[in-house]
Structure 1
């Protein structure tokens, strides 16, 4: 075919229509295949700007960070966490956090951060202003929840250790076909320290046959009907599934608390957790 014949073909109505349809198809595929893009990269730090801060107590806030596009999702499997990095006093420091949002939230993600006096990264969050960037990498961690992983979860959380539990609880309960039973013991010092309490209570009220929560306080107010003091072996035995069941224990909280819980669980015939937990462990520590 010579040049004049090629020009004639390109100018024909059939070619114009066909070419236009092909171009439209390419554009359609490009636009819709790019929706819900997962942005997390396990080996590369990325920066996301702070767009909203919601103070929920004197030392705790929810920080919302924006993703590059409104249709983007973080791409974090249920049960995994992200690494957060900051340069503090000339040193690069990183810590792990579990977002309280999930991939149904597009264009942003939320971190619930309780600032501790000796916590380098948690105190760093309090210095962030709207528009400041946060360095993030992930997913991280050995836990990856899928329906049917176990028949029941017994959870023990302390303080901000509630965040991975909340993520998993939400994933279980929003799936009507997931029959996993969830029982949570959540320990804090004072009543005002109970993070996500209203959210947990709403979930417990909405799913009374699937999820129950038992609160424990060191300093309970008058009329308190929950647990008092430290989480005890009796409370674990009463409120969490037994080791003989098709169940797993998940724990996240301050190291002294976890150390005490390991003793209780050992006495209740749960296998000792490994130093680094694996997905198939009966007792998993975040």
Structure 2
């Protein structure tokens, strides 16, 4: 899981977005990736339930290639967990996220869910920001967008802060009255405190019991917890994944490599998902 780049375009209507800032690098200027944007090393999804490319408009002042800096002003800060904060930034006038048609909250802003890492300069800097402070970001970058009802069902596998792109996908699918897609989330973390957005996910389960289910796996659950103990294993995935659907993956590099494998001569090493019968064309890594 790498940088998440925010995408801005010349429109006045603005969907809110929630992205993760699990970052490292130069303080003050960060690149955030849009939720369904393929990384340079990620395979473009084809075959099963493909994601469609979407032309991005660029924000005035950005370069011809779509790159440039814009400044966002911090409007509010909310503590989410012992090491995560939710930062709401105001978008510049006449701009909006060139994001998926997934978020239905209205407001001229972008939200960052920032997990603070030990010795992480970027995440520490973001956690130190107060309302009124500003942040420079890079974008926009061409990406993929979800097509409503492209799949009858999707599987989401998230680890730690990797829940954030999954949350936008969940929110967009379930809040779209035209959608019938069923969603299953398998979410792993070290402790229950590290399960971000759990209240929001529970609300979706309550509202859409026939279309959304979340399964949690925690390495160190609290005493008396009803959450499954352990990691996201092959056995857990075999029991929980919906066969035939598309799979989205986002989490720590070791988890992603275990699930997806790595590329090399003749495709390199296969991952757990291939061993369970899923093709690479079914799998999309954020």
In the superposition, the TM-score normalised over structure 2's length comes to: 0.70
Tell me if the contact between 2:86 and 2:111 (Cα under 8 Å) persists in the aligned partners: yes
Residue 201 of structure 2 aligns to a residue whose secondary structure is helix
Change (3 A) 1:40 1:164: farther
1:141 shift after superposition: 6.0
Distance 1:74 1:143, change over 3 A: closer
Aligned to 1:249: 247
Give the whole-Å Cα distance in 2 for the aligned partners of 1:168 and 1:193: 20
Describe the SS at the equivalent of 1:213.
strand
Q: How does 1:259-278 map to 2 (within 5 A)?
A: 259-262=257-260, 263-272=271-280
Mapped contact 2:152–2:181 kept (Cα < 8 A): yes
Identify if the C-alpha distance between structure 1 residues 221 and 52 changes in structure 2 by more than 3 Å, giving closer, same or farther.
same
Partner of 1:48: 72
Could you tell me which runs of 5 or more consecutive residues in structure 1 were left unpaired when the two chains were aligned. Answer: 1-32, 80-101, 273-280
1:40 and 1:133 map into 2 onto residues whose CA distance is: 21
Partner of 1:197: 198
Question: CA offsets, 1:86-128, max 9 Å, x none?
Answer: xxxxxxxxxxxxxxxx364322111111111143322220122
Q: CA deviation at 1:40?
A: 6.3
After TM superposition, the structure 1 = structure 2 runs for residues 56-135 of structure 1, keeping only pairs within 5 Å, are 56-69=80-93, 73-78=96-101, 102=103, 104-135=105-136
1:161-217 CA deviation, whole Å, 9 max, x = no partner?
001000000110011221111000000111111100000000011101111000100
Task: Note the 1:127-276 alignment, pairs <5 A.
Answer: 127-140=128-141, 142-242=143-243, 245=244, 247-262=245-260, 263-272=271-280
Distance in 2, matches of 1:259 and 1:227, equals 22
Cα distance change of structure 1 residues 133 and 103 upon mapping to structure 2, 3 Å threshold: farther
Q: CA deviation at 1:227?
A: 2.1
Q: Where in structure 1 do 4 or more consecutive aligned residues deviate above 4 Å? A: 37-40
SS of residue in 2 equivalent to 1:186:
strand
Tell me, yes or no, if the aligned pair for 1:233 and 1:264 is still in contact at 8 Å: yes
Alpha-carbon distance in 2 for matches of 1:167, 1:174: 10
Displacement of 1:148 after TM fit?
A: 2.1
Shift of 1:139: 4.0
Q: Which residue of 1 aligns with 2:44?
A: none
**Take 1:283 and 1:75, find their aligned partners in 2: how far apart are those partners?**
23
